[in-house]
Amino acid sequence: MSLRAGALGTCGGLLISAFRHDQARATEGAVSGAITGLVVAAGLVLLLVGFVYLIPRTPMGYDGEEDEFEDVDEEGEDQGGGLRLRRS
């Protein structure tokens, strides 16, 4: 049995027991709990969107290969053989 199924069963059992004991209060509690859950879920979704927005769009690592190609072009060591790199 998973933890989620156990928690759902426990909450459902408590809700049914409370509903049998006092229907008005149980219904009021279920409605207020559902509203609170929706507000918290909306806040968590907004928080997730904010964190995704903060993720950098470009890689943050060092790319040494790019520097090697720039050095060849800058130092004039390219004597016409091989591939020519074009910068756009």
Q: Is residue 24 part of a domain?
A: yes
Residue 3 gets which letter from DSSP?
H
Q: Is residue 64 part of a domain?
A: no
The reported pLDDT for the residue numbered 42 is 95
The reported pLDDT for the residue numbered 27 is 82
Question: How many structural domains compose the chain?
Answer: 1
Rounded to two decimals, what is the model's pTM? Answer: 0.47
Q: Which ranges of 22-79 would DSSP assign to H, the alpha helix? A: 23-54, 64-75
Q: Can you list the positions of beta strands (E) in 16-85?
A: none
One pLDDT digit (tens) per residue for the chain, 88 residues = 688 899 888 888 888 888 888 888 888 888 888 899 999 999 999 999 999 888 877 766 665 555 555 555 455 555 556 666 666 6
Q: Is residue 6 part of a domain?
A: yes
User: Which residues, 6 or more positions from 29, have their beta carbon under 8 angstroms from its beta carbon?
Assistant: 18
Q: What angle do the packed helices 3-21 and 23-54 form, to 10 degrees?
A: 150
Q: Is residue 45 part of a domain?
A: yes
Q: Is residue 30 part of a domain?
A: yes
